[in-house]
Amino acid sequence: MMRSIKQQPFRAAVLVLVWGWLLFLVLAPNMLVVGASVMTRNPSTFISLPLNLEAYRQLFNPLYLDVFLHSLYMAALTTLICLLIGYPFAWALSRVEKNRQMLLIFLLIVPFWTNSLVRTYALKLILATNGLLNSALMSLGVIDEPAQLLYTEGAVIVGLVYLLLPFMILPLYSVFEDLRQDVLLASHDLGAGRLATFKNVVVPLTLPGVLAGVMLVLLPAMGLFFVPDILGGSRNLLVGNVIKNQFLDARNWPFGAAASIVLTLTMALLMFAHRLSKRRLGEEGA
C-alpha cells in the first residue's frame, strides 16, 4: 500500500491520541485503583503504605458478602427480566417493516436524552405512596388504600429494568437483524417444529446478542448506586452503593478500590465468555 507523506502526520496524530487516551484515561486510573486497593487506610491522607491485602480480606466479611450477594441477586433478576422482555421485543422489532423499525428504535433511544437521575426521580413520583400509580389503582378500585411501592426491592428492580432495558434490546436487535429467514425455513423444511427450531437454530444464533445484552445490563445493574438511593431505602444496597459509601462516607479507599476491582474482573470474565461464544459461531478468523 502506498502512503503519501501528507497522510503520515495525521496517522501519527490519531495513534498518539488513541494510545494517549487509553494510557492516561483508562490504564492509569485503573492502575491507581489497583494501587489503592493494596494500600492501608489512613484517615488523613486516605491511603498510605504499607502494602497489604487487608482490603481484599475485608471483602469476605459476611456483612459485605451479604451485600454483594444481594446486589448480585437483584442485578441477575434485573437482567433476567430485561432478557424476558427484550428478547421477544427485539425479535418483533427485527420483523417490522423497515421504515417503522427506524421510528421504533428512535423511540427506544429518546429516553437517553434525559439524564437517568432525572428519570429515576420521575419514577419515584409514579411509585410514591400518593403517586400516580397508587392513585390510578385506587380510582380503579383495585386497592382501597395506597400500597407501599417505594423503598422496596421491587422498586429498585423496576428502576433498574427501566434504565437498562434498551441496553438489552439493542444488541439483541442486531443479532435478530442478522438472523436469516431462510435458515429458519430450512429448519422447518427438515422437519423441525417451532419449538425445535427455536431451541436448535434461533437460540444458538442469537446467543452472542444475549451475552452482549447480559454484559451491558448485569454489570451496570450492580453499580447504579443512585437507583437504590432514590427508590430503595437503606436495605436494598448495590455493590455500587458500597463502593460509593467507602469512598465518600466511610473514607475507606482501599476497600472501595478492592470492591471496584472485583466488579471489573467480573466484567472481564463475562467479556471472555462472550468472545468464546462468538468464536464458536465462526465469526472470527475464517
Partner 1 sequence: MTKTLLSLSGISKQFDGKTVLDELSLTIDDGEFITLLGPSGCGKTTLLRMMAGFEHPDEGTVTLSGVDITQTPPEHRPLNTVFQNYALFPHMSVFDNVAYGLKMEKRPKAEIAERVEEALAMVQLEDFARRKPHQLSGGQQQRVAIARAVVKRPKMLLLDEPLSALDYKLRRTMQVELKRLQRELGITFVFVTHDQEEALSMSDRIVVLKDGYIQQLGTPREVYERPANVFTARFVGQTNFFPGRVTKIEGERISVDVFGLNRELSKPSFRVAVNQSLHVLLRPEDIRVLAPDDIEGVAGKIVERNYKGSTLDSVIELEDGSHVMASEFFDEDDPTFDYSIGERVRVSWVDGWEWLLAEEGDEPLTDEEELAADDAEH
User: Length of the chain in residues, anyone?
Assistant: 286
Which amino acid belongs to residue 120? Answer: T
Q: How many helices (H) and strands (E) does the chain have?
A: 14, 2
From 120-128, 134-142, 191-199, 233-241, span contacting partner 1 (CB under 8 A): 191-199
Residue 83 CB, shortest distance to partner 1, in Å, is 20
Question: Which residue stretches of 110-252 are H helix?
Answer: 116-127, 132-139, 153-178, 181-189, 194-197, 203-223, 226-227, 239-248
Residue with cell 483508562: 26
Least distance between partner 1 and beta carbon 216 (Å): 22
Q: Return the range that interacts with partner 1 (CB under 8 A); candidates 15-23, 45-53, 196-204, 256-264.
A: 196-204
280 is a contact residue toward partner 1 (CB under 8 A): yes
- 1 in contact with partner 1 (CB under 8 A): no
**Can you tell me the distance from the alpha carbon of 184 to that of 190, in angstroms, rounded to the nearest whole number?**
10
Give the nearer residue to partner 1 in terms of CB position, either 11 or 188: 188
* Shortest distance (Å) from residue 104 CB to partner 1: 22
What stretch of H or E contains 66? Answer: helix 62-95
Which residue has 426521580 as its cell numbers?
121
We find the least distance from the C-beta atom of residue 91 to partner 1, in angstroms, to be 18
Binding of partner 1 by 278 (CB under 8 A):
no
- From CA 43, how far away is CA 40, in angstroms rounded? 10
φ, ψ (nearest 5 deg) of residue 109 = -90, -25
Instruction: Report d(CA 126, CA 120) in Å as an integer.
Output: 10
**Interface pick for partner 1 out of 16, 65, 96, 190 (rule CB under 8 A):** 190
CA–CA separation, 70 vs 242, rounded Å? 12
Q: Between 187 and 245, whose beta carbon lies closer to partner 1?
A: 187
Q: Which of 97, 144, 189, 249 binds partner 1 (CB under 8 A)?
A: 189
The residue range among 7-15, 118-126, 129-137, 179-187 that interacts with partner 1, by the rule CB under 8 A, is: 179-187
Q: Mark 263-275 as b/e (b = at least 16 C-beta within 10 Å).
A: beebbeebeeebe
Binding map of partner 1 across residues 127-166, x = CB under 8 A, - = no contact:
----------------------------------------
Q: Is 192 one of the binding residues for partner 1 (CB under 8 A)? A: yes
Binding partner 1 (rule: CB under 8 A), the pick from 100, 180, 199, 235 is: 180
Provide the grid cell at 246. Answer: 467507602
Note whether 210 and 244 are within 8 A (CB): no
Choose, by CB under 8 A, the member of 204, 235, 250, 268 that binds partner 1.
204
Stretch that binds partner 1, among 28-36, 68-76, 83-91, 274-282 (CB under 8 A): 274-282
Range in contact with partner 1 (rule: CB under 8 A) among 117-125, 148-156, 175-183, 212-220: 175-183
97 binds partner 1 (CB under 8 A): no
Element (H, E) at 274: helix 253-280
Q: Cβ(55)–Cβ(48) under 8 Å? A: no
Among 3, 141, 191, 272, which residue interacts with partner 1 (rule: CB under 8 A)?
191
List of residues contacting partner 1 (CB under 8 A): 180, 182-183, 185-193, 196, 200-201, 204-205, 280-282, 286
